[in-house]
Amino acid sequence: MKKTFALIDLDCANCAAKMERAIAKIDGVNEVTVSFLAQKLVLDADDARFDEIVDAAAAAIRKVDSDCKLKK
């Protein structure tokens, strides 16, 4: 399943790149793009565990930048 999420207050480009790397490492993620300019996360992951993976991605984002939130 592929879904797009808005990222609120993503304000550094370097962080976006770090988030992307961190999320790509999560088990079950097929493809991920964090676009700093569009302030968006495009996540393609396993259908069966999608919600779980989204939660893990949200945690990874918080870890990189505590101000940035994932809007579901």
Among 24, 29, 36, 50, binds another protein (CB under 8 A): 36
Give Cβ neighbours of residue 38 (< 8 Å, ≥ 6 apart): none
Decide: is 30 part of the binding site for another protein (CB under 8 A): no
User: What percent of the chain is helix, strand and coil (3-state, nearest 5)?
Assistant: 40, 30, 30
Q: Does 41 bind another protein (CB under 8 A)?
A: no
* 9 Cβ contact list (under 8 Å, min separation 6): 67, 68, 69
Residue 35 interacts with another protein (CB under 8 A)?
A: yes
- Nearer Cβ to another protein, position 48 or 72? 72
DSSP state of 12: -
Minimum gap (Å) between residue 66 Cβ and another protein: 5
**List of residues contacting another protein (CB under 8 A):** 4, 9, 11-15, 17-18, 33, 35-40, 42, 62-67
